[in-house]
Amino acid sequence: MDSFLQCQDCCRRFSGHRHSRLVFKANSMRRLTASAVIAASITIPLCADRTTIASGQTSTPMSAEAFDALVLSQGTSTDGFINQEMEAKIRGALKAIRSKFPETANLHARPSFALDTLAVGLTKQGQDVIKRKVKMTEDSPKEEPITGDTGIVKLDQLNAKYGATSVTAFYSPALLFVRFKKPMDIPVLIKIYAAIPESQATEGDEAMGDGDEIHLKRDNQVWLFAFKHGWGDCPAGCINNQYFFFSYRPDTQAVKKTGEHLAHLIREGMLVGHK
């Protein structure tokens, strides 16, 4: 079975809450205890499948290679939209590595946040605006949709520009989740939304769990890739991790394997590695 699908099967068996500092801040303003927050939020999945996390509510399928490049291109745009040029270059690099080293064929990138959602924490001024749109009490649903514009001018302008499909207040007017119709460059979008005067803090909608991963460090001449295969209790943090390291030159498409490492977490607080 594809190792990514194995991870996803684990994620479907375990559920968790949104892993965000803003979630707890919003709920503390609603006078909920931390344990109540966790209990109320426990139906949110640890991670979504490849199509859902990359394409929001659409059913458009996405290949594993396209998804990997999408994840690894995060943070490279200048405007908050996906950097398609960088995505294409990364896709080419992954193809070159996998064609020469088949052990990486089924190892895929795992985003640490949803690619179509932002969490926006509001100042008191922003909360007062939202309170005119929704009335939330301790008996309200944990997510209250906001119909039409929020009334926060700059927020509404950005939502229109980036194609937001919904805005919901999460437990209180202090925290909004903004969802987009397609994948976005979330790290860049966080900075753009953080500049809204009524924004006190902005974060991604972070995921929990562990599994296979790909990491990329870029410079002008050499790109460094690290592929990781994780197994053993991955929802809590993989016990076993096999790493494969590669260098790639974008100018020549030359690939070189630079190392391999096997690490076992055999006892709490102890990591033993084998080359």
pLDDT of residue 33: 30
- pLDDT recorded at residue 83: 97
Q: Do 136 and 245 fall within a single domain?
A: no
Helical H segments across 163-194, by residue range: 186-194
As a whole number, the mean pLDDT across the chain is 79
- Alpha helices, DSSP H only, in the chain? 3-13, 21-29, 34-40, 50-55, 64-72, 84-100, 124-131, 153-162, 186-194
Looking at the domain assignment, is residue 237 inside a domain? yes
Residues 159 and 229 in one domain: no
Do 93 and 216 lie in a common domain?
Answer: yes
Helices (H) and strands (E) in the chain, counts: 9, 10
The model's pLDDT over 69-90, given as tens digits with 9 standing for 90+, comes to 999 999 999 999 999 999 999 9
Could you tell me if residue 23 is inside a domain?
no
DSSP secondary structure of 61-87:
---HHHHHHHHHTTT--SSSS--HHHH
In a domain, 12, yes or no: yes
User: CATH number for the domain including 169?
Assistant: 3.30.70
Domain boundary among 206, 232, 256: 206
Give the pLDDT mean for 6-24.
Answer: 39
3-state secondary structure of 27: helix
Could you list the residue range(s) of the whole structural domain that residue 182 is in?
Answer: 113-206
Looking at 158, 190, 206, the residue that finishes a domain is: 206
Name the domain count of the chain. Answer: 2
Mean pLDDT value of segment 24-37: 39
Within a domain: 36: no
* Residue 86 placed within a domain: yes
Q: Band of the pLDDT at 271, cuts 50, 70, 90?
A: very low
Supply the pLDDT for residue 141: 62
Residue 132 lies in a domain: yes
Of 206, 226, 252, the position where a domain reaches its end is 206
Q: Are residues 215 and 191 part of one domain?
A: no
pTM for this one?
0.77
Does a structural domain hold residue 31? Answer: no
Angle formed by the axes of helices 64-72 and 84-100, nearest 10°: 120
Distance CA 230, CA 260 (A): 14
The answer to whether residues 66 and 11 belong to one domain is yes
Contact 129, 158 (CB under 8 A): no
Question: Domain check: are 103 and 131 in the same one?
Answer: no
